[in-house]
Amino acid sequence: MALIDDVRSYLRIDASDTSFDLEIQDLIGAVQTELIDVGLDPTLVGNATNSLIKKAITTYCKANFGYDTDNAEAFASSYEKIKIYLMNSSTYQVVSSP
């Protein structure tokens, strides 16, 4: 399953409804850029097969999708906590050569 399909599912959008795909893809791109900018390994972020990275991406999208989201602040806070964990875990950082 493609990442956009996963995000669509988390947003409770029917799999056949692609009318929001441009907005969803923009959100995915924005969060991936942010995660890479804070030091996460671009390979892990780009593949998004890791459960915690996928959770960060989907939570960001839930916080920022559409208008008047009742739980936007809660999702944004949750995303920030996941991002901080990822930033502080050597598992997700870029491996640099000595």
Statement: residue 76 has pLDDT above 80: yes
pLDDT top residue among 94 and 46: 46
pLDDT at 70: 81
Statement: residue 97 has pLDDT above 70: no
Spell out the SS3 assignment of 26-37: HHHHHHHHHHHH
Residue 97 lies in a domain: no
- Number of domains forming the structure of the chain: 1
pLDDT at 66: 83
Whole-prediction pTM value? 0.91
Burial of 78 (0-12, 13-18, 19+ CB in 10 A): middle
Domain that holds residue 76: 3-10+21-90
Q: Per-residue pLDDT tens for 5-63? A: 999 999 999 999 999 999 999 999 999 999 999 999 999 999 889 999 999 999 999 99
Q: Are 53 and 40 in contact (CB under 8 A)?
A: yes
pLDDT at 85: 97
Q: Are 7 and 57 in contact (CB under 8 A)?
A: yes
Residue 96 lies in a domain: no
Residue 95 lies in a domain: no
Residue 43 lies in a domain: yes
Residue 27 lies in a domain: yes
Q: Are 82 and 34 in contact (CB under 8 A)?
A: no
Residue 16 lies in a domain: no
